[in-house]
Amino acid sequence: MTKLGGTGVLLLVLICSSRGLNLTRDFDVDESDAKRLVPELIQHHGYPVQVHHVATEDGYVLEMHRIPGEPGSPVVFLMHGLLCSSADWIIIGPKHGLAYLLAQKGFDVWLGNARGNRYSRRHKTLTPNMFAFWQFSWHEIGYYDLPAMIDYVLDLTGQGKLQYVGHSQGTTSFFVMTSTRPEYNEKVHLMQALAPVAFTSHMRSPLLRVLSVFQETLTILFETFGIDEFKPNNSILHDIARLFCSGSITSNLCLNVLFQLAGADPDQVELKIIPLLVGHTPAGASTKQIVHYAQGVRTAQFRRYDFGKIKNTFIYGMPEPPEYNLTEVRTPVVFHYGLNDYLADPEDVLQLGRALPNLIEHRQVQHNTFNHLDFLFAKDVRELLYGDIIQRILTWKVL
């Protein structure tokens, strides 16, 4: 199996990082947190943690992490974005991380991990060094992984419904699930979408725009060379991060690269977090997940994976991939979006909002330069966003 290196570095930066200037806020983290796995990290901070394994219909074995509440406490399910993992919700520590804040409020907190990331690399018959293991995009994450995890959690807790919070691809996969398996609408009280992504034609991030132009060539290259897993060499990533992101002169360079990709927000950057991000991301994905997004940048549609006309006809019965039917998404949805988000551009978010029949709120985070990664790592994310998320969950309970 071939690894994809250089582009991976850019994408690491693109999806899962971006911090830097002002060191005033105390995130309560130390560099050793970069090396800990999520369960160990949660335990290290003094919280109870459980690890659960969930099988999907098509044979993948997913690892979920849980910060359990009292028996019978309401469930909140958190789903990460592209190249990320359950770590997203805890990296900034117990005073700020959304998973901890929810646990402090008495919720039963479940963190999902999509197939192919570092926690979900098992399958009943396949192994990650096989090409067949990586033949999925975020379609399969929405169609198989989310339903399997949701059913598991509801069965185990004996509850009928849960609260869903997703970031980026964690929203894309939710819309895939509820449009292709509408019965799952009934299993979610409220879906809060952070940086919602479905339509991508206004995406400003230069990297995905470039990818979208060369997408067909790239797909052929990936297939020819069997580049199926998107997993850059971690020690190389560390070296590059060290090169660009330490020292007083070079740190500006580091930030500029990050800002080009995710949107510039120097106010909300926390340098302390960078080593943790490099330790926890990229957490693994298939190249098809990235290609699927690049297809949407070009076509301006939210539709199934494009395999090319011949294979499409074989798989879908038509030469073009079918669109996802967003009219089927009946779960009440709240959007939280940022004006300076290069990946969930406000125009694309608006277009998605118009397509959803049950969007109850379209909320802009009140910080003009809020970017794609600020939803997870901004210094003031608790004050700017998490308080509102929790308040919506709490008030939903009494409705």
Ligand X SMILES: *[C@@H]1O[C@H](CO)[C@@H](O)[C@H](O)[C@H]1NC(C)=O
- Contact with ligand X (CB under 6 A) among 235, 310, 317, 398: 235
- Contact with ligand X (CB under 6 A) among 3, 311, 354, 397: 3
Looking at the Cβ atoms of 12 and 67, the one nearer to ligand X is 12
Which one of the listed residues 85, 120, 168, 179 is annotated catalytic? 168
Q: What are phi and psi of 398, to 5 degrees?
A: -90, -5
CA distances from 79 to 173, 192, 224, 332 (A): 9, 11, 32, 17
Contact status, residue 383 vs residue 365, Cβ threshold 8 Å:
no
Least distance to ligand X, CB of residue 380, Å: 8
Least distance to ligand X, CB of residue 236, Å: 5
Least distance to ligand X, CB of residue 7, Å: 15
Least distance to ligand X, CB of residue 381, Å: 13
Looking at the Cβ atoms of 3 and 124, the one nearer to ligand X is 3
> How many binding residues for ligand X (CB under 6 A)?
9
233 binds ligand X (CB under 6 A): yes
22 binds ligand X (CB under 6 A): yes
Contact status, residue 124 vs residue 55, Cβ threshold 8 Å:
yes
- Contact with ligand X (CB under 6 A) among 236, 339, 350, 394: 236
24 binds ligand X (CB under 6 A): yes
CA distances from 214 to 83, 203, 217, 293, 305 (A): 21, 16, 5, 13, 16
With residue 184 as reference, give the H or E element that holds it. none
Distance in Å from the first CA to the final CA of the chain: 51
Residue 168 is among the residues annotated as catalytic for this protein:
yes
248 binds ligand X (CB under 6 A): no
Which one of the listed residues 45, 96, 336, 372 is annotated catalytic? 372
Q: Is 158 left (phi over 0), alpha (psi -120 to 50) or beta?
A: left
d(CA 16, CA 26): 20
Binding string to ligand X for residues 303 to 342, with x set by CB under 6 A, is what? ----------------------x-xx--------------
Looking at the Cβ atoms of 37 and 236, the one nearer to ligand X is 236
b/e per residue 240-276 (b: at least 16 CB within 10 A): bbeebbeeeeebeebbebbbbbbbbbebbbbbbbbbb
Residue 65 is among the residues annotated as catalytic for this protein:
no
Residue 263 is encoded by which pair of tokens?
A: 């949107």
Applying the rule CB under 6 A, the residues between 99 and 128 that interact with ligand X are none
d(CA 48, CA 131): 37
Stretch that binds ligand X, among 39-47, 120-128, 230-238, 268-276 (CB under 6 A): 230-238
Q: Which one-letter DSSP state was computed for residue 3?
A: B
Q: Which residues are catalytic?
A: 168, 372
Residues that bind ligand X (CB under 6 A): 3, 22, 24, 233, 235-236, 325, 327-328
